[in-house]
Structure formats: structure tokens, C-alpha cells
Amino acid sequence: MTIKIGNAPCSWGIEFASDPSYPTWEAVLDQCAGAGYTGIELGPIGYMPEDPAVLAPALAARDLELIGGVVFRAFHDPAMWGDVMDASVRTCKALVAHGAQHLVLIDSIAPRRAATAGRASEAEQMDTAEWAGFRDRIATIARMGSEDYGLTVGIHAHAGGFMDFEPELERLLSEVDESILKICFDTGHHSYAGFDPVAFMTRHMDRISYMHFKDINPVVKADVVANRTDFYKACGQGVFCNLGQGDVDFSAVRNLLVDHGFDGWCTVEQDCDPAMPGTPQEDAKANREYLKSIGF
């Protein structure tokens, strides 16, 4: 059994393809490797070069492996299907070109759900027909990624989208075949949603193919949930804290992974606002040291 630890561009505040405030992709690779990680995610499609002739030597020069990539798009909106498909195909092609394994599907933040992130009892639910279309769009991309490109596809719950709370995630898992859709489990988003990450992992370890490590500051979480704070503003308030400083029991997470013979990547994803005090590189180093201290 080998558990490998990576990081992702979102830990440097990179959520979209481009922004003048973003560090360069080369700087992110430098800082990721310098902080002690051996792998990195692709980030939002369009941020890092999609051409393997450009990205592959840059990764190799830093002894980094490309782990996978995320399709963070509006699966909830049928009018955005073209955008979902474009991002999915481009991501699949980039991952295959580098021998990366993990395609992660995330329903992006929806205006109808943004204010009820962390408030499961108040969140608007899809009707039967809307849910069926939503599920089928996810299943279509999952099947394409797994069967056409040979990737391991995982669904990832995310605050503020329509795949946010535990009952929605478990409903999807019951309706989409495990052969095409696994779980990319994010410890922090599960806590943000108001559920117990360790309890969920205990029930679903056999379907978890990939892990995202994120921790939650419980004081900030209580404030942003109570005030219906926008997700990105919540990031700016530090809702995602350094690992080991929040309410996720990472020692229990490690024990579950070890006990079940988990073999693969666990990627740190500390969504942040680059304008906050400190630097992403300092946080990346601190998170790597913390994980080493508990046996990762």
C-alpha cells in the first residue's frame, strides 16, 4: 500500500482559467515541489498548458507527477451543457496525455443554492425531472471519462452546488453505476455541508478512489453558515484553515485509509484567497509537515 500526497492549484487561490492576480503556473509548480509534494492537479482547464510538450518537461524538472484534473462546471444547468462537455473533453485529453488517472466532477456553485451552503434543511431541491437530467449529465461525462479515456472518475460534493449534502451524494451513488463513477471525497466540503466526514468514509470506503484533504475552521463555518455568506467570501474569511487546525479528524481519516488498504493519491486542497495574510507556499509547507506528523 502506498499513499501519495499531492497539492492543487486551488491552494494558491486559482479557481478559474485566468486572472491577473494569479501566480504563474511555473511558480505554482516551483512552490508545490518546494513544499515537499510529489504530485499536483491540473487545475481549471486553461490555467496550465494543455500541450504535453510544454507541461511534461516542466513537471519532470520538478519531480512532480500530474495526478488528475477537475471539471468544475454547471452540471445543474442544461443550458451550459456545451461548456460542460468542452471542459470535460479538454480535461480528459490533457490527463491522458500525461498518464494522469483521476477525473473529478464537481457541480459548480448555483445561484439557487449559494445562500444555503451548509444549511441542508433549507436548501432548495430539484424536482424529479430536473434531478434526472442532472444525474444523467453527470453519468454521461463519467461514462465518457471512464470508457473512452480510461480514467478513474470521481464525484466530488461542493458547497453551494446541487451536489452538496450527504443525501444528494448518496442518492447519486445509488443511481449511477459504480463501474463508471467513484467518489473523490473532500473532507472539508463534507464538514462544511454539516456532516461527519469520517462516518461517511466508514460507510463508503470501497467506492472512494481519490481523496481531497481540506480542513474547516468551526468558528468561521458557524459564522458563514449563519450569515449565508458567499462561498468565495467565506474562503476569504479563512473557512478553510490549515490541516489539523479545524474540525476534521485527520488521524481517523488516516486510520480508515490504512485499514482499507487505500493505494493512491490524497491531495491537499486548501481553497484560499491570495489576499489573505501569509502565503500559499507557507500553508502548503505547514500542511505537508502536519501530514507527515500523523504518518502520511
- Give the domain 3-293 fold: TIM Barrel (3.20.20)
Write the pLDDT tens digit of every residue in 167-208: 999 999 999 999 999 999 999 999 999 999 999 999 999 999
Rounded CA Rg of the chain: 18
Does this model's pTM top 0.95? My answer is yes
CA 98 centroid distance within chain = 19
Q: Is the pLDDT of residue 103 over 90?
A: yes
| 39-40 vs 65-66, strand pairing mode | parallel
Q: Tell me the domain boundaries of the chain.
A: 3-293
* Exposure string over 134-163, b if 16+ CB within 10 A, otherwise e: bbebbbbbbbbbbeebebbbbbbbbbbbbb
* Mean predicted lDDT score pLDDT of the chain: 95
Residue 276: per-residue pLDDT? 67
Report d(CA 50, CA 62) in Å as an integer: 18
Vertex 208 angle, CA 257 and 180, to 5°: 155
Write the pLDDT tens digit of every residue in 109-133: 999 999 899 999 999 999 999 999 9
CA dihedral 36, 41, 45, 47 (to 10 degrees): 0
Q: Is the pLDDT of residue 41 over 70?
A: yes
Over residues 8-33, mean pLDDT? 94
- Which of the four pLDDT bands, split at 50, 70 and 90, describes residue 256? very high
Residue 246: per-residue pLDDT? 97
> Angle formed by the axes of helices 128-143 and 81-98, to 10°?
30
